Amino acid sequence: MPSAAPLISLPAGDIHLWFCFHGDNCNPALTAEYFSLLTPEDRSRHDRFHFARDRHRYLLTRVLVRSVLSRYAPVQAQAWRFATGSFGRPRIEAPLAEEAHGLDFNLSHTDGLIVMAVAREIDLGVDAENLGRKAALEVAGHFFSPSESAALSALQPSLQAERFFELWTLKESYIKARGMGLQIPLDSFSFALDDRGGIEFSLADPGDDSARRWHFRQLQPTRTHLVSVCSAPGLSAPTRIVCREAMPLQWERPLQVRTTRSSGRI
């Protein structure tokens, strides 16, 4: 992404999704440029990955975060600093540029894809899965709600894998948006998916949250990738999703992504 590119406007209520489709390695010159943006802590974590493909994905993810955030605030990519919340979610710690006020992001990766969601003053979470993976259908009975497990079992076997990933990514996007990880039991909330592309969300005990404040959307950027987005922009702000494809420090371009499901309020 060109360093001289103008800043991107990010209005309230908008969510920008950045898609990075990648292989297992890149050329040595670009790898060296990526490394120049890492902190010593980043480099140490990179070196702890056993497999080369995992090291490459980590490197690509860190550079994507830094370079994308610099499209919204006049901050050099290497200057961003991050802190980790009590449940492991990273957040921007510095610098405190005016344009960085309220800026937040969330990440997910799967085979061949890294996706980064960016917004201002919005609780959001994103999760991605590669539909070519083997679906762990056996975990549904342990981690899904009873209604989700029953609906999954009622489907024809040929449809169960895709439905599993639809439910799994939605559940992951919600707990990431809440910022509490698996402190929220996966069977304490439910999704009902209809044949018209709708998503209904409910909580077993709404004492500490309200199901009505959450918006959900699923997108399919490729035939084999599924992405779920959860957001709570407030009652008055519309949710608009804008998609871009990027290869960090090289190029970016608008991307049209098909929405496959959405909740009624989007």
38-48 pLDDT per residue, tens = 999 999 999 99
Rounded distance between C-alpha atoms, residue 72 and residue 100, angstroms? 7
Per-residue pLDDT at 149? 96
The tens digit of pLDDT for each residue in 251-261 reads 999 999 999 99
In single-letter form, the type of residue at position 110 comes to T
Taking 80 as the threshold, does the pLDDT of residue 266 lie above it? no
Domains parsed from the chain with CATH numbers: 14-263 (3.90.470.20)
Predicted TM-score (pTM) of this structure: 0.94
Nearest to 92 by CA among 59, 115, 64, 65: 65
Per-residue pLDDT at 238? 62
Residues 253/244, Cβ–Cβ less than 8 Å: yes
Per-residue confidence band for 265, with pLDDT thresholds at 50, 70 and 90: very low
State the average pLDDT over residues 62-74: 97
| Token output for 89 | 């979610």
* Element spanning 148, H or E: helix 146-154
Of the two residues 27 and 227, the one the predictor is more confident about is 227
Per-residue pLDDT at 4? 63
The tens digit of pLDDT for each residue in 107-156 reads 999 999 999 999 998 999 999 999 999 999 999 988 999 999 999 999 99
Nearest to 239 by CA among 121, 102, 98, 103: 121
Q: Phi and psi dihedrals of 186, rounded to 5? A: -70, -20
